[in-house]
Amino acid sequence: MKKLVAIGAAALVAMFMAVGLAPAASAYPEAVCNLVVSPTVVHPGDVVTVHCSLQTIESPRLAGRSAASADTHWVVTFDGLTHTGTGESFTTHFTAPQVSSSTVFSVHSVGHDTVTGVKCDRSVNVTDVPGGTVVSPPTGGLPNTGGPGLILLVLGVCFVLGGGIAIQRSRKGHHAQSQPQHRH
């Protein structure tokens, strides 16, 4: 029996050693892809700044981080216009188009690092709001309500006071009925 336990223990130790010495699966290199668009709400004629960057993580340790190579090719589109560039990061500018109503455009960025083969693909929405719209303030009445001023104010105060008086009287009547009568 001792031999069987010894053989079993030796087999377990050999199995754990084989599994422990096997190379670990790795998800690296991992890409960190950034697309920064500013501003995201614009008026026609405003300048939209787009900044793209790609960083490759070679290992889980912080020292393993590295920027994408200078051979990263960028393609950025906005409202049918395309700008291209090459480098670890890329910054470009677009002009917001004329619109007659609020319109949402997509800024789409694709970066491809030809050295590592890592691809970066991101999108951000930009809302283009037409300018020159003037809103006239309401005339007369209570501020920010649009209602006729004094009549509704007096009527509201009367209802509140009437409700308070009605509640007070009903409580006095209820309180008087619940008190026992003492005879002397």
3 state SS for the chain: CHHHHHHHHHHHHHHHHHHHHCCCCCCCCEEEEEEEEECCEECCCCEEEEEEEEEEECCCCHHHEEECCCCEEEEEEECCEEEEEECCEEEEEEECCCCCCCEEEEEEEEEEECCCCCEEEEEEEEEECCCCCCCCCCCCCCCCCCCCHHHHHHHHHHHHHHHHHHHHHHHHHHHHHHCCCCCC
**How does pLDDT run across 49-95, given as a tens digit for each residue?**
999 998 877 665 554 555 556 788 999 999 999 999 998 889 999 99
Task: For residue 180, count CB atoms less than 10 angstroms from its CB and return exposed for 0-12, middle for 13-18, buried for 19 or more.
Answer: exposed
**How does pLDDT run across 4-61, given as a tens digit for each residue?**
777 877 776 666 666 665 555 555 567 788 999 999 999 999 999 999 998 877 665 5
pTM assigned to the model: 0.54
Q: Phi/psi of residue 36, each to 5°?
A: -115, 120
Q: How confident is the model at residue 116 (pLDDT cuts 50, 70, 90)?
A: confident
Paired tokens of 87: 């480098």
Q: Is the peptide bond before 60 cis (omega within 30 degrees of 0)?
A: no
Return the pLDDT at 122.
93
Res. 118: pLDDT tops 70: yes
Res. 156: pLDDT tops 60: yes
Res. 137: pLDDT tops 70: no
Domains and CATH numbers, the chain: 30-128 (2.60.40.1930)
43-47, 112-116, 134-138: which range is least confident on average? 134-138
Return the pLDDT at 66.
58
Return the pLDDT at 81.
95
